[in-house]
Amino acid sequence: MFDPTIYENLKVVLEGAIYDLDFANEIIVIDRADLVDLAKMAREFKMQFQTCTTNSNYPIAEVRLLSGLQDFATEKITSNEKTAGCVLEVNLFTKIIDVTKDCFDIETVLNQIWKSRPIISQNITFSYGIEHVLENKINISFGRKINEDQIDDFEQILNFTLKSLQFLENIIKRD
């Protein structure tokens, strides 16, 4: 028997917190992946969900937890739990019409919701032949590794993610 890694501990708590919101009928989990990349010796856990009030395919929230070989080695071989950890990020997917206005509004409001702490970036894509339909992938990155010391932050992160989804629903309704 061995002690679980930081990644495993965080994954269990994060997954449970998301399913708690699902059971409380605040969100609907629409996808879940627990991946192991044997070529890179990396792990990734992600869950996608929407609010219970949405009536379209967008917006979608995705919470991702990532850990690589270096993270595992730092934790298990060097026993340096201060620098060991995982990457946590939130991705939001939505449709937009007006790149300039919608992206500005999204950045402004998400910085208010997230209190200007994480790094927020937006990546716009479109499918050729489909006019006026743009997909916006909004990445919310915390710019550092997390470990068990940040487990209590998961509730607030998920709360901010839910508020972000509700705001994006209003953007879709407006357009």
The predicted structure's pLDDT at residue 3: 76
The predicted structure's pLDDT at residue 81: 67
The model's confidence at residue 157, banded by pLDDT at 50, 70 and 90, is: very high
The model's confidence at residue 1, banded by pLDDT at 50, 70 and 90, is: very low
The predicted structure's pLDDT at residue 107: 97
Q: What is the mean pLDDT of the chain?
A: 92
- Angle, alpha carbons 172-23-27 (nearest 5°): 10
The predicted structure's pLDDT at residue 78: 81
Domain ranges within the chain, ordered by starting residue: 6-174
pLDDT per residue as tens digits for the range 72-120: 888 888 877 677 899 999 999 999 988 999 999 999 999 999 999 999 9
Query: Who contacts 173 (Cβ-Cβ below 8 Å, separation ≥6)?
Result: none
